[in-house]
Amino acid sequence: MTGPEARAELLAFTDTPGDWKPSEKAAPPSDVLEQAREKLADVKPVTHRAFQELQFRLKPLREDDKAARDLNRRGLWQAIGFQAFNLEGDLAFLIRGPQGRVYNVKRRRIPPGKRSKYQVIFPGLGAPAWCSPGYGQAARVLLIEGELNGVAAYHAACMVQQSLDVQGLAGADTWPFLEGLNREVWIYADGDSSGEAMRARLQDLSFRAGASRVRQLPSLPEGDYCDLLGKHGPGALWDAMTTRPERPETHWWPAEHDSRFAARQYPMLGPPTSDPDWPLQRPKRE
């Protein structure tokens, strides 16, 4: 039985009075901007009292802590804008929103073992993205898969004295904050099927939110931004982010692209454009 069918059966079996009837579940909105707003309605900041209670458990990280050594291997030890702590031997870091408020605290188990690698300390507050300090001041914003990848990108930008805002998303199926998307948007995701779906969704969302330009950053052939930062430093990571790859020989866009692009015209901003040197590509259907 479905849930509504089971409930109706139990009400009848127990002779429970009432005229409850199962209702049809509303279809999800088709517009990507409405989808984002619906999901972001579930994102709430941590209350001041709850965060104060947690602070007693957060200890400063020391260089010889396992969590600190793990960060050092990724090039993230004392990374700019990254607020990390020792939580009972594990890594804990703050997830701040566009205005600097704490939206959650994430725990990374060291080592992961059989348990889940990541855990949010305050469940039920949605899946907020990690926003870089001073968010909203740069001319461009990077939307990237993974909070620690976001930290790595922001740290690299700061170290080479470049201005960049970053939102590190918790996963390929989560949503960024809509604040600050009305400018040039960069998008990075892994090179797998979920990453490609994330690229397509965030490109559509960025244009709907008023982006003047969207640039797709190519996926690394191996590893992620943390690996590259840890092995070769911030300069190499920034070069990988900003070097334009050769234009692919063939391009294929879904048939609905032309109609969607026509709907993305903004009279005040002019027609938005995607990056011609690295257009979003989706695999052909057999």
Question: What confidence tens digit (pLDDT) does each residue in 162-173 have?
Answer: 999 999 999 999
Question: What confidence tens digit (pLDDT) does each residue in 218-272 have?
Answer: 999 888 999 999 999 999 999 999 987 654 443 344 434 444 444 444 444 454 5
Question: What confidence tens digit (pLDDT) does each residue in 98-111 have?
Answer: 999 999 999 998 77
> To the nearest whole percent, how much of the chain has pLDDT over 70?
79
Average pLDDT, the chain: 85
User: Which pLDDT value is given to residue 14?
Assistant: 84
Q: How far apart are CA 81 and CA 155, in angstroms?
A: 7
What's the whole-model pTM score? 0.78
Contacts 24+ apart (CB under 8 A), 90-95: 91/61, 91/67, 92/58, 92/121, 93/147, 95/128, 95/129, 95/130, 95/147
| Residue 112: band (very low, low, confident or very high) from pLDDT cuts 50, 70, 90 | low
Residue 206 one-letter amino acid = S
